[in-house]
Amino acid sequence: MAAERGEFSSRFGFLMAASGSAVGLGNIWGFPTNTASNGGAAFLFAYLILAFALGYPALMAELIIGRHTRSNAVAALKSISSGKKSQFLALAIGFVGIVTVSLILSFYAIVSGWMMAFFLDPISRLLGLTSLSAWLTTDTEIRNAVFVIIFMVLTVLIITAGVKDGIEKWASRLMPALVGILLLLILYVFTLPGAMDGLRAYLVPDFSRVTDPQLLVNAMGQAFFSLSLGVGTMLVYGSYISKDENLPVVGVLVALLDVGIAVLAGLLILPAMYVALESGVQIYDDAGGLIAGPGLIVSVLPALFSNMGPIGLLVAVAFFALMTIASLTSSISMLEVPVAYSVENRGIPRPKAAMVVGAIITSISLVIVFNFDPLFDMVVSFTTERSQPLLSLFICIFAAWIWRRNEILEEIRQGSSKAEQGMFWKIWPFYVKFICPVAILAVYFQ
Ligand code: PFF
């Protein structure tokens, strides 16, 4: 017997959950540093275009399939396919999605663990616990393992509570807090010397870079990762949206929130880096580029905070709270994908499914922690650069080539009765059918 399905109780709840999934380390860390190392506003410009021209149509494909089928990704793709071959493909795409999202969560939990450790560090210093502070900020396998476990336990606890009492409740609490902290931090950093140089680095475009294929590849990867596409997350969240909801509108709102928060994060991170430079912190690497990788968050910014004096402690707590919140609202959406499958297709009760899947992913995370150099970058680039865009491509193919067009329209009309006269229906079907697959492949093979 099918397990009873959850549903988001309001548009606000869905928006917080879906934008919570979208807004994560990719926005607050990935986007600003990608912008800085790819020609400033030239990247911003390419990103905005790709997010709306490719990301939004692909996001809509997931939301529509999810809400129509009211099931997890594997079952959903299977139920919109008719022939044997397409059903087999549906299973394959669904399972690769589950494996990919689990691997994404396994590296995401490691980075999120660092954020939690750096969040606790200023508190431990305030309490005079200097050796704890040193332990928290020293990159050791054991610290990383401990925080992976803590972070995964939090993720599992929220998912165990279900769609409304777990995902929706926590996203609705955490996302407004995230926006509030982000705005306060931006206002504060803007008052510091050097901030305007950072703003220039962010907003003055280097137009010679606009046609650089690498810039386009990075911008597309950023857009797909940031909108959590391809791996079934948005499909599963779509399956919990009420039938009265106007899908094209909520999809636009999710994309706007995601892009808007990425752009805001740029207003924080780049000025903060130049403020750090002004206060004597090294912000360029040996090759002369801005430090962008883990070094940025775990060395440049903490060095800046410690140069700020006592207020630096408060700023550090706020900043790492922001990062932890952003991580958690994304990690729960990742865990929901395999959990929804286990509950619905395997009949496992939700708490047990969350615990077992959570334990498996934690174990993979720990394997990466203890073999960091050979594994971490490999898992990141395999999942986000290879697997995610291709899976998204296949979901577009399912929506546009395999699924019946009148069923799609019917689904959209549930929440907007005049859908076929609207802009969305005039553009989107053609878009997902031709433009998205070709553009994804073109950028992919760059
Ligand atoms: N969108 C998240 C971010 O920008 O950090 C990452 C993410 C979440 C990727 C959920 C994939 C996913 F299924």
Which residue ranges of the chain lie beneath pLDDT 50? 1-2
For residue 1, the model assigns a pLDDT of: 41
Q: Give the pLDDT of residue 40.
A: 82
Q: Is the pTM of this model over 0.75?
A: yes
pLDDT at position 201 is: 86
**Cα 227 to middle of ligand 1, angstroms:** 7
Other CB atoms within a 10 A radius of the CB of residue 230 amount to 31
- Ordered by start, the domain boundaries in the chain are 17-444
Going from the Cα of 257 to the center of ligand 1, the distance in angstroms, rounded, reads 14
Is the separation of the CB atoms in 146 and 365 below 8 Å? no
Amino acid making up residue 323: M
Per-residue tokens: 86 = 């397409």
| Closest C-alpha among 168, 117, 96, 145 to residue 332 | 168
Per-residue pLDDT of 247-301, as tens digits, reads: 999 999 999 999 999 999 999 999 999 999 998 888 888 877 777 777 788 888 8
* Tokens coding 303: 């060095």
| pLDDT (tens digit per residue) in 323-337 | 999 999 999 999 999
Task: State whether the beta carbon of 59 lies less than 6 angstroms from ligand 1.
Answer: no
Q: Cα(387)–Cα(230) distance, rounded to whole angstroms?
A: 8
Q: Give residue 308 CA to ligand 1 midpoint distance, Å.
A: 32
Query: How does pLDDT run across 374-430, given as a tens digit for each residue?
Result: 999 999 999 998 899 999 999 999 999 999 999 999 999 999 888 889 999 999 999
For residue 305, the CA-to-ligand 1 centroid distance in Å is: 27
Q: Is there an atom of ligand 1 within 6 Å of 26 CB?
A: yes
Q: CB of 383 closer than 6 A to ligand 1?
A: no
Backbone angles phi, psi at 9, to 5 degrees: -85, -15
Which of these, 313, 365, 337, lies nearest to 120 by C-alpha position?
313
- The closest residue, in CA terms, to atom 11 on ligand 1 is 228
Q: Round the CA-based radius of gyration of the chain to a whole number and report it.
A: 21
Query: Could you tell me if the CB of 100 is within 6 A of ligand 1?
Result: no
Q: Select from 336, 369, 416, 392 the least CA-distant residue to 146.
A: 369
Distance CA 138, CA 292 (A): 19
| Residue located nearest, by CA, to atom 13 of ligand 1 | 228
CA of 56 to the centre of ligand 1 (A): 15
Residue 429 CA to residue 26 CA, distance in Å, equals 28
Amino acid 104: pLDDT:
98
Cβ-in-10-Å burial (0-12, 13-18, 19+) of 422 comes to: middle
What pLDDT does residue 3 have? 53
Reduce the secondary structure of the chain to three states and give it as a string.
CCCCCCCCCCHHHHHHHHHHHHCCHHHHHHHHHHHHHCCCHHHHHHHHHHHHHHHHHHHHHHHHHHHHHCCCHHHHHHHCCCCHHHHHHHHHHHHHHHHHHHHHHHHHHHHHHHHHHHHHHHHHHHCCCHHHHHHHHCCCHHHHHHHHHHHHHHHHHHHHCHHHHHHHHHHHHHHHHHHHHHHHHHHHHHCCCCHHHHHHHHHCCCHHHCCCHHHHHHHHHHHHHHCCCCCCHHHHHHCCCCCCCCHHHHHHHHHHHHHHHHHHHHHHHHHHHHHHHHCCCCCECCCCCECCCHHHHHHHHHHHHHHCCHHHHHHHHHHHHHHHHHHHHHHHHHHHHHHHHHHHHHCCCHHHHHHHHHHHHHHHHHHHHHCHHHHHHHHHHHHHHHHHHHHHHHHHHHHHHHCCHHHHHHHHHCCCCCHHHCHHHHHHHHHHHHHHHHHHHHHHHC
Q: Does domain 17-444 correspond to CATH entry 1.20.1740.10? A: yes
The alpha carbon of 357 and the centre of ligand 1 are apart by a number of angstroms equal to 18
Length of the chain measured in residues: 446
CB of 47 closer than 6 angstroms to any ligand 1 atom = no
CA distances from 318 to 160, 357, 372, 411 (A): 28, 31, 28, 42
29 Cα nearest atom in ligand 1: 5
Tell me how far the alpha carbon of residue 163 lies from the centroid of ligand 1, in angstroms.
18
Six-digit token pair at 38? 């790819």
